[in-house]
Amino acid sequence: MPLPADRPRVGVVTPYWTLWEHTAGPTFRADRLALARSVADDLTTVAEPVAVLEVASADDGQTVGRQLADLRVDVVLIIQTMAVPAAWTMAALDALPGVPVVIWALHETGLVDGGFDHGSITTQGATVGAPMLSNLLSRADRPFDLVLARRSDPVGQARVAEALRLAGVARGIAGSRLGRIGRPLDGYAHVDLDEAALRSAVGIEVVTVDPDEVVDRYRTVADAEVRALEAETRATWAFEGDPSPDSLERSFRAALALEAVVDAHDLDGGAFNCHVEQFRFGETIGIAPCWALGRLTTAGRPFTCTGDIVTAIAMLTTKRLDGAAVYHEIEAIDYETGEVVIANSGEHDLAWLAPGATPRLRPNGWFCGKDPHCGVCATFEPAPGPATLVGFTPHPAARGGFRYVVARGDLTERTFPETGTVNGAFRFRDGPVEAAWARWASAGVNHHSSATPGDLSADVATVARHLGIEAVIV
C-alpha cells in the first residue's frame, strides 16, 4: 500500500527515570526505548517518525528539544509509560513552540492481579507519569491530546494514529500560505481580518498577489494547454446549456492562468475578488472565473470569492480534514421542513459530488446577459447524509482572538438544480431551524462558510485546540 504523501513528521519521545529502575529489572531501560521504537515502526502508515529519543534528565530534555527543532517535526508524540519528572520533558517541548503534542499513556498490559508489586507500579506507571506532564502543559496553556490505551489494543492504536493525523493537520494549517488576489468588495469588512494578528495567533501567512499578475499569465497561456484542459473536462463533465466557445475559452484559460499564479507563489489557497477591472469588468479575461476557483479547491487549494479571507481558512480546514470545501451561503429557509438552501455564485468542489454522479458544466447564469462575456460554472448535488458547515472569524472573546463556528447537520434528499450552481439542502441537527440558525449567526460566522459531507465537528474542535484558538459548535 502506498504511503500518504502528507504524513506528519513525528518526533517520538520516551521519558525515563532511573530512580525506581532497580524495582523493574536490568533490561528495563533498554526495554522502554525498544518499546518506543516499536511504536514508531507501527506508525509509518499514518506518520513519518523522524527520531525516537529518550529524555532522562533536564539536560536530555534541552538536547532533545534542539534535535527535534532541527528536524522540523510537525508533531511530538510522548510515550509515557512511567513516572518521570515532567520538567525534563517540558524542557524539550519548550524548544518547540507551536508544535502539537500528543501523549500516549501506554500500558503494556491491562491485567492487575494479586502479584502486583513495586516493580509493577514502576513498569505500569503511565497513569502516574502522564498527569505529571499534562499538569505542566495545562499550566503553560500548551494544547495537547492525551490517549490512554494498551500497546496491544488496536482501537487504542487507532486513536493515537487519529490524534497524530489531526495534530499534523493543525500544524499544516499553521504553516500555510493564503493568497489575497484583489481586496474584498467595498464595504465587505466582515470577510476581512488583521493579517498580522492572524499570523501571530495561528501562524497563517497571507500573501498579497497583484491581480495584474493573473492577467499577464492569462495572456501567456498556450492554446495547446487550453485545448488539453477542454478535452480533459469534456471527458469527465456533462456540458449543458450550450456554453459558447468564447465562454469555454475564457474559463479554461483563466483556470490555467490562476493555477500558474498559485503555483508561482506556493499558495495553499486564498481569497479572490473577481468584481474588479482585471477580471469580470475588463476585456482581457472578462469573466468571473468561478470554475477556475473550484478547480483549485478540488485540487486541495481552496479559494473563496469577494476577497473572503476568513472563509478561506474554514475551507482550508475542511479540505485538510479530508472533507469538501464548498464556498456557499445559506440562501433561504424552508420553515416547514427545517431545511436550508445551500448554493453560491458558481464555485465548486468535486468532493461535494454524489458518488457515481457526473458534474455538469453550464454558463454561469449569475452573469450571463448582464456582462459582455460569460464564464462557465459547475452544477451538481451531494449525496444525503451527515454534513458540517464551518465558518471562521476573529472574535475578541475567543481564545487566541479567533474561532471556528461549526454546525452539525445532515444533507437531505432535496436539491435545487435551478440555482445553476453547486447546491443542496442542509438541516441543522441541534434544535429547530429558527434557534439553530440564530445560534450559528450569533456565534460570529459571516454570510459565507465551508460546507462538507460528513460530521467533522469533533475534528475541527481538535484542530482549533492545537492552533490555540477556539471552536464553537452550535
The whole-number average pLDDT for the span 199-224 is 99
Torsions phi, psi for 450 (to 5 deg): -105, 125
The cell for 275 is 468584481
pLDDT at 2: 42
Q: Distance between CA 163 and CA 166 in Å, rounded?
A: 5
Torsions phi, psi for 228 (to 5 deg): -65, -40
pLDDT at 420: 97
Is the pLDDT at 294 greater than 60? The verdict is: yes
The whole-number average pLDDT for the span 267-289 is 97
Torsions phi, psi for 190 (to 5 deg): -75, -10
Residue type, 279: F
When pLDDT is cut at 50, 70 and 90, the band that residue 5 belongs to is low
Torsions phi, psi for 288 (to 5 deg): -85, 110
When pLDDT is cut at 50, 70 and 90, the band that residue 236 belongs to is very high
Nearest to 388 by CA among 297, 456, 449: 456
The percent of residues above 70 in pLDDT, for the chain, comes to: 99
When pLDDT is cut at 50, 70 and 90, the band that residue 1 belongs to is very low
Is the pLDDT at 4 greater than 80? The verdict is: no
- Kindly report, residue by residue over 350-396, the tens digit of the pLDDT: 999 999 999 999 999 999 989 999 999 999 999 999 999 999 999 99
pLDDT at 109: 84
- Kindly report, residue by residue over 71-123, the tens digit of the pLDDT: 999 999 999 999 999 999 999 999 999 999 999 999 998 778 878 899 888 98
- Kindly report, residue by residue over 310-325, the tens digit of the pLDDT: 999 999 999 999 999 9
Q: Note the pTM of the prediction, 2 decimals.
A: 0.96
Is the pLDDT at 7 greater than 70? The verdict is: yes
Q: Distance between CA 11 and CA 4 in Å, rounded?
A: 18
pLDDT at 115: 82
Q: Distance between CA 158 and CA 2 in Å, rounded?
A: 19
Q: Out of 110-124, 391-405, 440-454, pick the least confident.
A: 110-124
The whole-number average pLDDT for the span 454-459 is 99
The whole-number average pLDDT for the span 169-179 is 99
Domain annotation for the chain: domains and CATH numbers: 9-174 (3.40.50.10940), 177-473 (3.20.14)
